[in-house]
Amino acid sequence: MTSDRRIIVFLSRADDASLRVAGSCALAAAAMGDRVDVFLLGGAVRAVIAAGDDSDDGAARALFQAREAGNCRLLACSAGLVESGLDPGVAQEVVDAVIGWPTILEWTRGVTDRFFF
């Protein structure tokens, strides 16, 4: 079941509670058939990339489950990637795309269902 509804999740904090709640939100929306874009910003970029998409445990697990469940993308902010000092090649293996603010603004334009963690 796929709906036309879009959900935007902005995740900027890297603490376990924020990662878990953002993942739960994304997973629930994806399971309901909604299109979900999770924008990783700031410290969340490092936390999610470090977790890796084959993570069976940990706070970021639900984010990867949401992507596997359906129409969910994990998108890292390029500024957050630069700040993290991580190898862009490693990031490309874990997230669906690394994008800048112009793209973030365009892809979120008009979407009213937004969640911030």
pTM value surpassing 0.85: yes
Whole-number Å distance between alpha carbons of 86 and 81: 6
Q: Let me know the angle formed at the C-alpha of 66 by 104 and 102, rounded to the nearest 5 degrees.
A: 5
Map out the domains of the chain with their CATH numbers.
Answer: 6-116 (3.40.1260.10)
**If you average pLDDT over residues 61-75, what whole number do you get?**
94
Cβ burial, residue 117 (10 Å; 0-12/13-18/19+): buried
- pLDDT tens per residue, range 105-116: 999 999 999 999
